[in-house]
Amino acid sequence: MSKKVGILRFLGTNCDQDVWRAVENVELQPEWLWYQDHFSESDYCAFVLPGGFSYGDYLRCGAMAAKMPVMKSLSEAVNKGKPVLGICNGFQILCESGLLPGALIRNHNRHFIDEWVDLDLVSANKYWAGELNECSIPIAHGEGRYYVNEDELKKMEDNGQIWWRYRHNPNGSVSNIAGVMNHKKNVAALMPHPERAMFDWMGSQNGRIFFESLLR
């Protein structure tokens, strides 16, 4: 099996190099996927959409990135069942492109929030983070308040698509949701940043398992 992990890079992505190092750290092979290019999904074992401010968050977070050429290839990879992880702005892009349900809107206090949060697992994802039941990793976002309507939420809950919940809701997310999955469970995304919790000196190693689990 390929050990290559494709990391999508848009103009304004700013956690790309952090994710690159995280992937390298667990002995997988990172490779850039530039926003204007297409790629062949069979060369990769998985894909990550890192955080940042693609296109400056102008228009709407993730809205412009969702329309870029590279997303067409990603969509094909998703259809073929390849695992995809979205982090922060990556989560926003996946929602905007329709690969995940729901939307991410301005935090309830209207401010950007940087802090460590405790997460509880709701339904495990077999590619990312595996059996990790709870973890402590940091958030850093201004628009991380997850929203779906009640009917959709019910469907997602019934189908096991809620991935992580905040123990203390920092941003007003519906049902304390921090991360979700698509119907087939191969696309998963969360607002917190696992690549910022790779070593004890960062404050926690809990993020490491998100990437390591790809090797299992």
Binding region for other proteins (CB under 8 A): 11-12, 14-15, 17-18, 21-22, 51-53, 55-58, 109-115, 138, 140, 142, 193, 195-196, 198, 201-202
Distance CA 156, CA 73 (A): 26
- Does the annotation mark 183 as catalytic? no
- Does the annotation mark 193 as catalytic? yes
Closest to other proteins by CB, 30 or 101: 30
Closest to other proteins by CB, 103 or 202: 202
Distance CA 170, CA 201 (A): 24
Closest to other proteins by CB, 12 or 160: 12
Sort strands 145-147 and 134-141 into parallel, antiparallel or unpaired. unpaired
Distance of closest approach, residue 151 Cβ to other proteins, in angstroms: 31
Q: Which of 61, 96, 143, 195 is catalytic?
A: 195
* Contact between 26 and 211 (Cβ < 8 Å): yes
Distance CA 21, CA 5 (A): 12
Residue carrying structure tokens 């050429």: 69
Distance of closest approach, residue 133 Cβ to other proteins, in angstroms: 24
Residue burial 67-95, b: 16+ Cβ < 10 Å; e: rest = ebebbebbeebbeeebbbbbbbbbbbbbb
- Does the annotation mark 168 as catalytic? no
Closest to other proteins by CB, 185 or 193: 193
Distance of closest approach, residue 1 Cβ to other proteins, in angstroms: 27
Q: Which of 88, 95, 96, 141 is catalytic?
A: 88
Distance of closest approach, residue 51 Cβ to other proteins, in angstroms: 8
Positions marked active-site: 88, 193, 195
